[in-house]
Amino acid sequence: MVRILFERRAFDAAASDLVSSLFVCYVSGSIIYLSRDVLVRVFYALGDGKPPFYTSIIAIAANAILDWIAVRRLGYGAQGLVLATLSVNFLSVIILLGMLSRKLQGLKLADCVRPLCVLTGVAASTAFVTRAVYDSALRLSTLLLAKREISRQILPLMLELTSLGVAAMSGILVFFTIVLSLRLQEIESLLPRRMRRA
């Protein structure tokens, strides 16, 4: 994906590899970003903006320190910046959860753990299927298109686009098929009433 969207003959393969590694780090930590954003909105909905504000101030300072350690001391480079940010956001989530639990005099975190674990498993399964379909589609499209007289510059792009498209559609289909079959209350509440099962 990075190769098609960003390289475009303007960057070399090494630059694409770097961006890909950063992309993987960010995607892996997306649940942390989303959790923090949801908690911040909960506090604002409760009319209390101080906890997220103070947590953000502490997070900015901690992020600067961790960035320096990750890049200067440990030599992780750009990936170190991403990992430092993910670590700070994870700590922010823990702090905000603790404050929210105190404010509401207890939270039923166990009710959140099961759906989160299930969705993580579904996401991992979807990633595995998507990768397998991508590899298979790339091999098949290479065999089918290699015999035709297509420009050597156009052929790799066509192969990548075809393989990515098939893999993306397969991943989306697998994800929603598994999620809907599990009948999670959180997912079914998003569906129109006529689509919900009795």
What are the structural domain ranges in the chain? 1-106, 108-198
Beta-carbon-side half-sphere exposure of residue 67 (alpha carbons within 13 Å)? 10
User: What does pLDDT average to over the chain?
Assistant: 79
Residue 34: band (very low, low, confident or very high) from pLDDT cuts 50, 70, 90: confident
Selected residue with higher pLDDT from 132 and 20: 132
30 in Cβ contact with 90 (< 8 Å):
no
Q: What is the pTM of this model?
A: 0.67
- Cα(105)–Cα(93) distance, rounded to whole angstroms? 18
pLDDT bin (cut points 50, 70, 90) of residue 178 is: confident
DSSP state of 77: T
Looking at residue 173, what is its pLDDT?
Answer: 92
- pLDDT at residue 61 tops 90: yes
Dist CA 119 CA 30 (whole Å): 13
The residue that leads in pLDDT, 31 or 85, is 85
| Local confidence band at 9 (pLDDT 50, 70, 90 cut-offs) | low
